[in-house]
């Protein structure tokens, strides 16, 4: 459920005590099929609906008799980021099957006789008319890692459903069974050439499934491997391809994207917002992402809306970095898997500040967060019984980190565009699971696959390391660590939020975060708020990430807890302008 509208079509079906609301971009395809007392529904391709009835019936049999009946095999064909379900009015049974890798999150709320499921927490919040409280554990996780973990959200009682699970609700009880998670290879050697060819075939197969639904696409393009890999597949699949980029003129993404687009022979549009963008759009962005993503991530939101008027289907390369190992380190390849080690690594490398929570959150808020963040990470890591550390991290990044960071970013624009994300399609994930960790390190096999698919795109620098993908692994290692040590120039961000928070946005930041209302009723310590505002606006240090999250928390609190200032339309002003 959304407020503010967009270009989505609304499809509503009510069969008491069951009700269904689906928002989508295909006006003639409601997303469900009725047959007698049963109703099958899905967020994926409409032409797959008819074939899912038998699959969902088999899921119900397996949920009713878990000791004897195995879960049915899921389709290995491209299916998009799919959630599907089946309602049997005669038996009063509801089956809900979540996306295998968490890339289409589902949020649940349950009472003795009622289950509410929604793709956004605000859908549950709206049905319950705001009768929900803050989940302080979610807030603690947000202020430690920048995202909520596992089942946690910012609203107590609303949980994020487990990826790759079948749920059964009947008679006031909710049961579930899980499929095996993606089985990343524990092998140390494999035929790299054959694996690279398989990766390329998987990409083209997924894109071909979407080609039947649209004749024109735009590719969200940056200087990274993911977007140029998807672009290489797009130009082989569609006759009408263009690319779009968001960023200031001198940013690394803008410069590299222009060069990549030129090399691929496709037109490129670069969008850029006004410096006061966040002051006008932050509230709407917080509403769209339910407060679980810092508003700074919305800096391209109006660009997506503007492009949606030109090209509804946009290809996005989310997930490739995680699957292909761009974040792996040598220690992850050689170290044994251990949940404690995973928790220590995540807490040491993913947190965006060094302060303890006691110096940020008010004591009465922190007292309501009994579960240590590290313990939650450790619990998640223990679900993946691999021998090597890197494979546990791959599972964590794909199924828990990406859905809470990258997928929430897509939510910002999805009312106006239809995002195609081929690198997290379950069929693609299945195809790349056999790559050994040694071949994932520094994107080694990823770069080989791109060289097979579009060799010309491997001669331009890879933004992550600063050297072209075709160069050997040693050069990429030097580039990566050279940047970290300050020996090589760092990337220039898409938008200079630190500058804007000190300049045109400074009065807005002060007015919101230092207002008596925020200091008295908000979740953060007044001294902490005063410190980050003063240190940043005076130029003594860069606290832009913390300011972004503090703004997000306060706007969310006012909307969801105090039920004030809920955006009912887009912010005033034109969307971003292209060059």
Whole-angstrom distance, CA of residue 451 vs CA of residue 454: 5
Q: What is the pLDDT of residues 67-125, one digit of tens each?
A: 999 999 988 888 888 899 999 999 999 999 999 999 999 999 998 889 999 989 999 99
Tokens found for residue 189: 């050697």
Q: What is the pLDDT of residues 121-149, one digit of tens each?
A: 999 998 898 789 999 999 999 999 999 99
In this predicted structure, the answer to whether residue 47 has a pLDDT above a threshold of 90 is: no
Q: CB-based contacts of 477: which residues, under 8 Å, 6+ apart?
A: 442
Whole-angstrom distance, CA of residue 553 vs CA of residue 295: 9
Q: What is the mean pLDDT of residues 453-464?
A: 93
Alpha carbon separation from 218 to 82, 128, 251, 310 (Å, rounded): 22, 38, 21, 9
In this predicted structure, the answer to whether residue 29 has a pLDDT above a threshold of 70 is: no
Whole-angstrom distance, CA of residue 294 vs CA of residue 322: 21
The per-residue pLDDT for 12 is 86
Q: Which sign does the torsion angle of CA 528, 532, 538, 540 carry?
A: positive
In this predicted structure, the answer to whether residue 2 has a pLDDT above a threshold of 60 is: no
Q: CB-based contacts of 458: which residues, under 8 Å, 6+ apart?
A: 447, 450, 451, 468, 469, 470
State the DSSP string of 227-273: HHHHHHHHHHH-SEEEEEEES-TTSHHHHHHHHHHHHHT--EEEEE-
């Amino acid at each position: 459920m959304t407020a503010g509208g967009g270009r989505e079509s609304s499809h509503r079906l009510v069969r008491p005590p069951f009700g269904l609301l689906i928002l989508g971009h295909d006006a003639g395809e409601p997303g469900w099929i009725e047959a007698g007392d049963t109703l099958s529904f899905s967020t994926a391709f409409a032409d797959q609906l008819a074939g899912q009835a038998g699959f969902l019936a088999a899921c119900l049999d397996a949920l009713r008799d878990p000791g004897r009946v195995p879960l049915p095999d899921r389709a290995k064909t491209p299916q998009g980021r799919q959630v599907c379900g089946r309602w049997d009015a005669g038996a009063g049974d509801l089956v809900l099957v979540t996306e295998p890798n968490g890339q289409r999150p589902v949020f649940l709320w349950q009472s003795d006789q009622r289950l509410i499921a929604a793709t956004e927490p605000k859908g549950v919040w709206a049905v319950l008319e705001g009768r929900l409280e803050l989940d302080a554990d979610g807030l603690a996780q947000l202020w430690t890692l920048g995202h909520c973990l596992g089942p946690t959200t910012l609203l107590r009682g609303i949980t994020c459903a487990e990826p790759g699970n079948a749920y059964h609700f009947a008679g006031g009880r909710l049961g579930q069974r899980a499929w095996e998670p993606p089985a990343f290879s524990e092998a140390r050697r494999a035929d790299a050439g054959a694996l690279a060819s398989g990766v390329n075939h998987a990409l083209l197969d997924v894109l071909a499934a979407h080609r039947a639904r649209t004749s024109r696409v735009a590719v969200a393009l940056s200087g990274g491997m993911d977007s140029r890999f998807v672009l290489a597949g797009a130009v082989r699949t569609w006759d009408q391809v263009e690319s779009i980029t968001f960023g200031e003129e001198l940013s690394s993404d803008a410069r590299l994207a222009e060069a990549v687009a030129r090399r691929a022979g496709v037109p490129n549009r670069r969008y850029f917002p006004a410096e006061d963008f966040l002051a006008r759009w932050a509230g709407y962005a917080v509403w769209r992402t339910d407060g679980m993503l810092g508003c700074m991530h919305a800096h391209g939101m109006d660009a997506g809306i503007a492009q949606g008027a030109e090209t509804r289907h946009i290809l996005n390369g989310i997930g490739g970095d995680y699957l292909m190992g761009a974040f792996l380190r040598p220690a992850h390849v050689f170290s044994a898997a251990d949940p404690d080690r995973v928790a220590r690594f995540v807490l040491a490398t993913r947190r965006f500040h060094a302060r303890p929570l006691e110096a940020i959150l008010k004591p009465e808020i922190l007292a309501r967060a009994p579960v240590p963040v590290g313990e939650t990470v450790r619990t998640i890591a223990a679900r993946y019984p691999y021998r090597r550390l890197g494979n546990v991290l791959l599972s964590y990044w794909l199924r828990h980190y990406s859905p809470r960071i990258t997928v929430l970013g897509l939510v910002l624009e999805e009312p106006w565009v239809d995002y195609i994300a081929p690198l997290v399609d379950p069929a693609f994930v299945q195809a790349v699971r056999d790559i050994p960790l040694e071949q994932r390190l520094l994107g080694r096999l990823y770069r080989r696959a791109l060289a097979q698919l579009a060799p010309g795109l491997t001669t331009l620098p890879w933004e992550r390391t600063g050297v072209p993908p075709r160069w050997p692994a040693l050069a990429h290692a030097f580039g990566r660590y050279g940047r970290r040590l300050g020996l090589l120039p760092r990337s220039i961000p898409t938008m200079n939020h630190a500058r804007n928070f000190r300049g045109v946005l400074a009065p807005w930041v002060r007015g919101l975060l230092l207002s008596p209302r925020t200091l008295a009723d908000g979740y953060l310590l007044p001294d902490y708020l005063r410190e980050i505002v003063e240190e940043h606006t005076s130029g003594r240090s860069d606290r832009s990430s913390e300011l972004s999250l503090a703004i997000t928390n306060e706007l969310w609190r006012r909307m969801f807890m105090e039920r004030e200032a809920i955006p009912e339309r887009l912010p005033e002003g034109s969307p971003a302008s292209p060059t």
